[in-house]
Chain A
């Protein structure tokens, strides 16, 4: 029983990280139809921004406070990078999907190379607050505390994004744009400005995912964002391209399947199970778990 509880909580924690990584990707694809292969670079940038911030802040500050500042900096860095990438690289290529893919793939490769050039290819350890490294015993299971943080942050992000979509004018424009971008433009609404904002929001979510994933991994490395991006894409495809709630459900499912398969089958089977799950969903339900709707 305690093993199962441990697996469920760690699986949910992993799913929470996948949702953090995939939410921006899902928003960007849903509204703009852009498959952003550079999303991993946004996460890597967030992770390194967080690591540098924690290293540079006075050690006299409590580590929890330094991590909080690092999270804010990572989110801001992700948002700024997202904004710049949209304005400089994506905007000239709307309606040119192949070129978008080439540019974002190129950017992801260049981003990894740049990180390697500046900080080296080896992982750099990050500091983790003692509480997050510890465990809490519930029903006999020693549950890692950091997973609760990831789950709480993911729930807050999901609630925040859903509230944004449901209760704000920007959200209304995004929901309409997901259905029919051309018609939104034909109503006199500057969709291009909305694209930029959505890219910045997606970048911010990626920055958040990056800094929290570095806490999960205990280190930052140039290829970290790229690794997480693979799972993010799987989650977005299973959840329905552009559906935020579908993405959340898919992230939980993927996290749990991976964790349970690794434990009950064999170590490493989790990754295979996720790919099989993706294939199964695409075969049985090509429109994914939920149709495209923000």
Chain B
């Protein structure tokens, strides 16, 4: 394991365990997320990446210690953790399909909704769709709603789970552009399978395998090492996708 903890951490996760029934999904996950840049959470399918994000946000039953800016949050409820500064964009978007785009956004920003400046700046495609039911949007547009929704709140850290999953290459590039822009002001903890995107925007990587952290270090160093990438992730960087 490459132990290169960043100097300043916004989030620290220590000895995190999650059990679902008889399954011990996370087995003492420990890592820090620096206060700037993008930290990518990588690993093969089913190793516990999504569970790690859910455990941090309080959506999975967990034990261990989680601190945000030095304050312990592991005993807090999800809504309080989010109001405390952690935004969460789930896998599969999870927009409210029966609500309009504007209503989806007004859940977070009751006064502005789709009229919020950040929507026009980062998601111009949504501006004219305020009255459209979110369930009728394309996958890419739903991802934009999901991202916009969380960006309407002040965040100290964003947890983003596979934002490019199932998107066309052009949309992957658009989402990557948005993430790069957001990362200029807000640290991201990003679960992502798309290694070209990781190479483009991530600064740090945390690799999980079988519920444990098996690598923690510089993103560029990992993706530049085909043997290590293949060993840790089971993929080759020659399988390039759009980013």
Contact segment of A104-112, A144-152, A173-181, A269-277: A173-181
Q: Is the CB of A180 within 8 A of B96?
A: yes
CA distance A190 to B79 in the complex (A): 6
Count: A-B pairs, CB below 8 Å: 58
Given contacts A169-B110, A172-B107, A176-B107, contact A186 B78 (CB under 8 A): yes
Taking the complex as formed, is A184 at the interface, i.e. its CB lies under 8 A from any CB of chain B? yes
Count how many chain B residues have C-beta atoms less than 8 Å from C-beta atoms of the other chain.
23
Question: What distance in Å separates the Cβ of B118 from its nearest Cβ neighbour in chain A?
Answer: 15
The reply on A6 being an interface residue by CB < 8 A is: no
Contact status of A185 and B96, CB under 8 A, knowing A172-B106, A173-B107, A176-B107: no
A55 located at the interface, meaning its Cβ lies under 8 Å from any Cβ of chain B in the complex: no
Most buried by B among A176, A179, A183: A183
Expressed in whole angstroms, the Cα–Cα distance for A107 and B195 within the complex equals 56
Number of interface residues of A (CB under 8 A): 19
The interface residues of chain B lying within 8 Å CB-to-CB of A186 are 57, 59, 78-79, 82, 88, 90
By a CB distance below 8 angstroms, the chain A residues around B110 are 169
Q: How far is the CB of A245 from chain B (nearest CB, A)?
A: 13
Task: Specify which chain A residues have a CB less than 8 angstroms from the CB of B131 in the assembled complex.
Answer: none
CB neighbours of B83 from chain A (8 A):
188
What are the residues of chain B within 8 A of A173 when measuring CB–CB?
107
**Contact for B103 among A172, A180, A185, A189, CB less than 8 A:** A172
Cβ of B104: which chain A residues have Cβ within 8 Å of it?
176
Write out, one digit per residue, whether chain B residues 69-106 have a CB within 8 A of any chain A CB (1) or not (0): 00000000111001100001010001011110001101
- Neighbour of B79 across the interface among A175, A176, A188, CB < 8 A: A188
Residue B184 lies at the interface, judged by CB distance under 8 Å to chain A: no
Q: Decide yes or no whether A187 CB sits under 8 A from chain B.
A: yes
Which B107-148 residues sit within 8 Å CB-CB of chain A?
107-108, 110
Residues of B within 8 A of A179 (CB): 96-99
Q: Is B170 located at the chain interface by the 8 A CB criterion?
A: no
B149 interface contact, C-beta 8 A: yes
Chain A residues with a Cβ under 8 A of chain B:
169, 172-173, 175-176, 179-180, 182-192, 293
